[in-house]
Structure 1
């Protein structure tokens, strides 16, 4: 009995020490926590969605999810994904471009403003380095390939969107970070100066410079890097420049917030929407196939760029199913779909640019 208790104690201490390593970030405290507690979206000790949002679909248990994960046939990973690598260091200032880096990481230059979203360049999307690894050949960008960034957007603090190794290295290259309430605690723990960080609640806006405004908006999702969730706010964003309106969707299940955003901020020139890592077992927190183009219509968007696929396996569907499905859906819609390879240059001024169905190789 003493030996068993000793083993349990050692395991418990190990877990405690692991959860307190730098990678997990830090929970908000002090003035930051006080500001969060004054938010209408913070109740009963955590942030809440606008509508009741169960983590799992009705009738689904965590035992079923675990059983599906352990005993269902795992989706086959691609042996190779075709990519190209755009040189981001030598772009001309008058080029309006987008470059996808796989999953939900991408670079944009709009009106000369350099933007980076949810960068994960560490080769995996997990606190444990040998799990949730990037598909072979997809992790082609590193911090060294990234120019100085005017605005770094972080949609929420999940591991596949907020990689502490990437963010620590990006710190010297980053002028400002824009994110939801509470996330600054992680960033300051990783060395970011508080003056760099703009944290906002849903429907809070920032006038960043001449003709560039950002609104922080709702998403239907959740947050958390450890055992306690909801301690930071998940978000989507509207970027309004003199030339265009861009929606950064982050992670979100489908709901009527898309229509509200479209009515308030539309028409939207480019909507960047999650498309992948879905499952009927958690249908409220990620969009299912078919809901992306419905959301785009609600947003009054003319062009859709689907992300959240192509680099990691986080759900039990084929790696290329999301892109195949949305490309079929787009053929029935008047909304333009752009589907670049990882690293391929998207010219945002060229509405006629064509893209291969590279996922069908």
Structure 2
């Protein structure tokens, strides 16, 4: 009798888990012609995408389970602010069309106006995880929603992790998005969610797409990983060099330090603004996020005119104090000798 009850409960939990993982928000793995294209990539080993150099998720002696256990149950002092962070609610639709600007929304979400074209990057406005009770936004940082966004010319997605690709946001904004730019395989999620194939531009590293009118985007390397469900690295991850008539903006996405920073800096010698990951780092996963000691080195090797750091100030995904990344940015500016923009959430930064 007891065994029967145990197995009944076990199968109920299994069924609930299967149902949970089949929600539309988890997306869909690449298939058909998209999968055939993926198999032609030099960065696909036949089963999954791989980085340029050996990259492990866990870099210490702990197992992945132990790493997550330490994070969930460890000391949480100052990992998140206990009062609301100050943020500015800007009327994005009334900002000038004839000036280049950027507005950062916290973490890795931001909106660029480049010679009149709107570029929205990794928008996460509802939730950064499969469930609402995890990855909660810091108080005061959730003031922007899709309705606040203008019509978008280019939606840029660096990879398909939940804190960079918000299902509810891209579903809601689909009628107002002209093109989606993403790494190989990520388009499968968008087609599954109702986007037409004509809207999707999927690129391997060093592939480019010319949009005309002096707008061009090139996918460049990053050192990271991907996945929304149980299977990792079935879609790719990337950074992007986005060229407009006035300037070149480099969109860094998520990345640990590696030789690709110097390579990108040598290929693109005229980067006006480089947007770098700075936050959610940890020695336990040192390969896939930038440790503070490398931030100034990345700036030096990229050789951009100026920098903005993101991936902080909205979610607690690691064990560092919530304000540490801002200190890292100041220190890296001194090390590299390059100016670093440090806007408040929602503040307009003019680039001209």
- Do the structures match in fold with TM over 0.5? yes
1:121 to 122, 125, 142: 125
2:215 aligned residue (212, 216, 239) = 212
Aligned to 1:234: 237
The answer to whether the aligner puts 1:337 opposite 2:325 as a matched pair is no
Residue 286 (structure 2) aligned to one of 279, 283, 286: 283
CA distance in 2, matches of 1:345, 1:315: 28
Aligned residues: 348
Moved more, 56-65 or 45-54: 56-65
Question: 2:93 is matched with which residue?
Answer: 89
**Out of 53, 56, 77, which is 2:55 matched to?**
53
**Corresponding residue SS for 2:41:** coil
Match of 1:102 among 79, 101, 106: 106
TM-score, structure 2 normalization: 0.97
Q: Deviations over 1:15-51 (max 9, x none)?
A: 0111011110111110011110111111131111111
Report how far residue 131 of structure 1 moved: 1.3
Q: Deviations over 1:252-296 (max 9, x none)?
A: 000010100100112311110000000000000000013122111
Q: 2:246 aligns with which of 243, 246, 270?
A: 243
Give SS of 1:216's match: strand
Task: Output the CA distance in 1 between the equivalents of 2:325 and 2:62.
Answer: 23
Q: Give the unaligned 5+ runs of structure 2.
A: none
Q: Does 1:138 align with 2:141?
A: yes
Does the 8 Å CA contact 1:271/1:301 hold for their aligned counterparts?
yes
Q: Give the aligned partner of residue 26 of structure 2.
A: 24
Aligned-residue offset at 1:63: 4.2
Q: Does 1:73 align with 2:93?
A: no
User: TM-score, normalized by length of structure 1?
Assistant: 0.94
Alignment RMSD (CA, Å): 1.1
State the shift of 1:61 in Å.
2.1
The match for 1:147 among 150, 155, 159 is 150
The residue that corresponds to 2:35 in the other structure is: 33
TM-superposed CA distance for 1:71, in Å, is 3.7
SS at match of 1:186: helix
Q: Is the 8 A contact 1:267 1:299 kept in 2?
A: no
Residue 80 (structure 1) shift: 1.5
- Classify 1:150/1:87 alpha carbon distance in 2 versus 1 (closer, same or farther; 3 Å): same
Q: Which runs of 4+ in 1 moved over 3 A?
A: none
